[in-house]
A and B are shown apart, each in its own frame.
Chain A
Amino acid sequence: MKQVGSVVWVSGPVVRAQLVEAVQMMELAFVGEERIVGEVIELAGQHATLQVYESTVGLVPGAPIYGSGLPLHVELGPGLLGSIFDGIQRPLDALRAQGADFIHRGVQARSLDPTRSWNFEPTARPGATVAGGSQLGIVPESSTIEHRILVPPDLVGELIETAPAGSYTIDQVIARVRTAHGEERELTLSHRWPVRRPRPVAERLALGVPLITGQRIIDALFPLAKGGTTAIPGGFGTGKTVTQQNLVKWADAQVIVYVGCGERGNEMTGVLTDLPKLEDPRTGEPLIRRTVLVANTSDMPVAAREASIYTGITIAEYYRDMGYDVALMADSTSRWAEALREISGRLEEMPAEEGFPAYLATRLAEFYERAGRVRTLNGGVGSVTAIGAVSPPGGDFSEPVTLHTKRFVRCFWELDKDLASARIFPAINTADSYSDYGPEVAGWWRESGLGDWASLAGQCRELLQSSRKLEQVAALVGEEALPDEERIALEGARLVREAFLQQDAFDPVDRFSSPTKTVSMLRLVMQWLTRARDAVRRRIPVYRIRSLPTRGMLLRMRFEIAGEQADAFEQRRQQIDAAFDKLLREEGHAPARPVTAG
């Protein structure tokens, strides 16, 4: 590491330097004798401006600056899963193992453990022509994730040697490649990749498979597709973090990257405490084994918060390149945008809206465009789904971060303060949320034998929409003054919300809803509505319908039926029919079946 210049000015996380050697934009640099980490963000003549990822208190002008010759990068290889890193990929457990509960300045630790050995099994034969993405071999990283060791993206050549099957650390050579220029390159189980450069892919594919989240309101009404993008905006206390964490726990991606960007320390601790104890409902493995955590809490330096999003998405792309479906959760992108604003302010740049720099929209677009379902360089298919929380100041959705995010995401789950204060969770507002992915994922539901998903969801949306208008009228004249058909619509909407859309993140049964459970539940609620409407048409009083025991049965089913118990749903279907038939008989009607729903 050579000295490239010295500090001439310090203000918070921004440092200006006088250069004696050339450096590049975005080059990783080390500042002062403590070698705190920074990145070059501006070059002008003999001066460079750096953003520094640690506290600069005590930094004195004249202090040396060392260049690295490399851009800010992450180390990629086996050992990422189950780890927790800070925003610049320092492993937090290794930092704590150095004996400090607090993060001291200038502490360093290798991102991946260089002493740990992995079982490597070669799959490529010497003599083959290899290029970026070619698989060299595999390492079982966890019992469910096979870590595919690929040739780094920018390399092409002839494979001249592979190591025999055996145990290797991330630094031991496992293959040799001769490039077209005759240069020989040694490959290990790990390589580095600059965080700000998207990893290349062969082509982008159309989406078509839903990312099942286990959350009924999302999977039924506002579905997300694998490789898609979504934003979760909401004021404080509306459940952004709980929603994000539910997705971390239950989304059916093979690998999850969770970036805690400028959020609470105790929340990260909560995730760290929960994940090892919870099982993946699909594999039975502890959830921590498929998860990579990037934690840059709000008290950690602001510039590293800016980097944390890129660190996270680069790790996500790395697993995508192995052919996995990866979901990246960023909580919260607003804190990341504020980090941009803070650095921009210190650089005395001309601000655009609310002090945010003019390039905010570009940066947001670049981030969300790194999501997608792709054909990887080796012909496989993988995806990165990006889920960003947004924390609008004052809960005002017209602020710049929310507005610009809306331009680049295709799915929007808006969290509502009133729902949250009535403790109705997930507090997703059904009027203003949307998803563009419905038509694209409908085929998947049909193929899964749940072909009525689209029509049930359509009926449900329609009911909620029409009841919204009725509620406004009811708020003025009282519900009792409405005609019976409308009162039943209101009752149906309430039932949809309470029995179906509400979901308890802390209840061991209700917290995860499989696609079958979601559709079966919705079917029952709609069946109830069809029968109730039929009864009202036969002039049966609303209070009689209300007092049927079916309502309580529907309200309880989310806690009572775990998984795929088809008979439990069938039994309830019959109960609903029996209850209405009995009611019709008592009121002197023939128990003729109405036309069934949908």
Chain B
Amino acid sequence: MSAPGGANRRPRPLGGLVGYIGAQRLAGPLVFVNGPRNVGYGEAVEIDFQGRRVHGRVLEVGKDAAVVEVFEGTANLGLGEIEVRFVGRPLESPVGLEMLGRTFDGRGNPIDGGPAPLLVERRDVNGLPINPIARDYPRDFIQTGVSAIDGMNTLVRGQKLPIFSASGLSHDALAAQIVRQARLPGQESEFAVVFAAIGVSHDVARAFRTSFEESGALARAALFLNLADDPTVERLMTPRTALTLAEYLAFEVGLHVLVVLTDITNYCEALREVASAKGEVPSRKGYPGYLYSDLASIYERAGRLRDRPGSITQLPILTMPNDDITHPIPDLTGYITEGQIVLSRELQQLGIGPPIDVLPSLSRLMQDGIGEKRTRDDHADVSNQLYASYARLRDVRRLAAVIGEDELGDLDRRVLAFGARFEREFLAQSPQEDRPIEETLDRGWAALRELPEETLSRVRPRIIERYFRKEGA
């Protein structure tokens, strides 16, 4: 128990809530209060100091002491005058259909100048774990119009597919393009977008907003903004507020909800800040040992439920510190999410955009979302062959760098030709270009035709017959 003993507690009733005046200690984002009774773990807290109100939640509670994390931080709070009230309920945030088309702060208060939405309910932001047998296995192909995703890392409804990026890469443009273009081919359905900005700059938030506006998605979007200059600890709430609304829209209203969370790295930084202020034993790079469980409690709030119409598809964005994919944040994320889209600085420098590095990218749910009746019967073969040939390209380029391109054998030279065509005509596409899946696959074949037929070991003979030979190379 961290709160030291003290005698200046003066409990008094305050409008039905349990209120206390005075705190023992303020440290980082934490307030240590002695003496409260009947305080529950995880309960919401309101704190008043000299006419200003801040909010928090109980992180640890003993018989006579509680540790409260304050979302707005403890700057400008003092020990004596402080009034701490325990709300008696867990942290809650609003949900309602009326929230679409509006902008909120990280806890769900409107910040767009409009009135507070009327027809809303308040729900526990922590959500509940989904019973695995209540889940429906995601297998509906979402066409994003981006070849590197549709062709090789297919997104399906109910999936959580993060974008692993790094500072300076065009992850925001890619996410905006996906939001703009994503649809189920041949099916127009009720959708909604929930966007959570976690510690990103005003410019980034504005760019997303503009993109939603231009595509007409804004009326169907709810924006939750905790920007770079907003309180750090509130970042811990922002994704949960957003997902609480998403769950309502998906599983009670029946909409197909696409959730964009950016930037998860800022979320993890906030978590580390609170953990270290509490004096917890750190594990890797100072992050708390429960980072995995904590991230899972966000990412696992995606999916489909049996017998319910809607779905939540998550598109979290994170920037890898120092471009390092083994850093705990991308690493633990990759263990929870169903794949990842990895962006590469090298491709961006070469002017190939979106700079998706397909080799480390992966969609775990792709297998069941593609093929005959879903996309096309050659989809798996094309994708596997592109992966194999592109991996081979990497080796050939390495060799060419050592012995020179002129010394390469004939086959290796054809691999280089394949690589050039693949990068220029398949990977590269403008942010406005929306490619149907058929076009994506045909572009894949066009690149593969640079290679001799007998090297295509990943393609079944029947598929070679039907697609590879149909237009002579």
Contact = CB atoms under 8 A, between A and B. Distances in A.
A342 B61 contact: no
B386 to A, nearest CB: 9
Nearest to A546: B454
B19 interface: no
Contact of B137 (A270, A295, A393): A270
A95 B136 contact: no
A161 B251 CA distance: 55
A102 B250 CA distance: 14
A312 B124 CA distance: 32
Interface string B106-147: 000000000000000000101111111111111000000000
Nearest to A356: B283
A294 B400 CA distance: 51
A95 B37 CA distance: 34
Contacts of B325: 394
Q: Which of A62, A262, A295, A423 has the most CB of B within 10 A?
A: A423
Given A101-B305, A299-B301, A237 B292 contact: no
A20 to B, nearest CB: 15
Contacts of B399: 474-476, 478
Contacts of B136: 269
Contact of A422 (B289, B339, B387): B387
A57 to B, nearest CB: 4
A477 B388 contact: no
Nearest to B384: A423
B398 interface: yes
Contact of B41 (A10, A300, A479): A10
A286 to B, nearest CB: 17
A340 to B, nearest CB: 10
A58 B391 contact: no
A265 B359 contact: no
Interface in A231-284: 235-237, 260, 262, 264-270, 272-273
B63 A424 contact: no
Contacts of B457: 498, 555
A477 B283 CA distance: 45
Given A101-B134, A345-B289, A395-B326, A61 B61 contact: yes
Interface residues of B, number: 90
B403 A478 contact: yes
Interface in B229-266: 251
B292 A62 contact: no
Contacts of B334: 235-237
A57 B129 contact: no
B182 interface: no
A352 B276 CA distance: 18
Contacts of B90: 57-58
B7 interface: no
B336 A266 contact: no
B98 interface: no
A298 B454 contact: no
Interface string A50-70: 000001111111100000000
A269 B132 CA distance: 6
B190 interface: no
Q: Is the interface of B mostly helix, strand, loop or mixed?
A: mixed
A100 B42 contact: no
B450 interface: no
A355 B61 contact: no
B41 A237 contact: no
A270 B281 CA distance: 36
A273 B61 contact: no
B60 A266 contact: no
A560 to B, nearest CB: 10
B348 interface: no
B253 to A, nearest CB: 15
B16 interface: no
B284 interface: yes
Contacts of A480: 409
Interface in B297-336: 297, 299-301, 303, 305-306, 308, 325-328, 331-332, 334-336
A506 B334 CA distance: 22
A421 B387 contact: yes
Contacts of A391: 335
Contacts of A418: 391
Contacts of A555: 457
Given A9-B62, A264-B336, A299-B296, A479 B409 contact: yes
Contacts of A55: 126
A103 B128 contact: yes
Interface of A: 8-12, 16, 55-62, 84, 92-93, 95-96, 100-104, 235-237, 260, 262, 264-270, 272-273, 295, 297-302, 335, 338, 341-342, 345, 348, 351, 354-356, 391, 393-396, 417-418, 421-424, 474-480, 498, 506, 551-552, 555-556, 559
Given A60-B38, A475-B399, 7 more contacts: A56-B42, A101-B131, A104-B128, A262-B292, A270-B368, A299-B301, A423-B384
5 contacts: A57-B124, A92-B133, A102-B128, A102-B130, A345-B288
Q: What 5 A-B pairs have minimum CB-CB distances, sorted nearest first? A: A394-B326, A422-B391, A298-B296, A57-B42, A355-B283
Interface of B: 1, 37-43, 59-63, 89-90, 124, 126-138, 158-159, 251, 280-284, 288-290, 292-293, 296-297, 299-301, 303, 305-306, 308, 325-328, 331-332, 334-336, 338-340, 359-360, 362, 364-365, 367-368, 380, 384, 387-388, 391-392, 395, 398-399, 402-403, 407-409, 412, 454, 457-458, 460-461
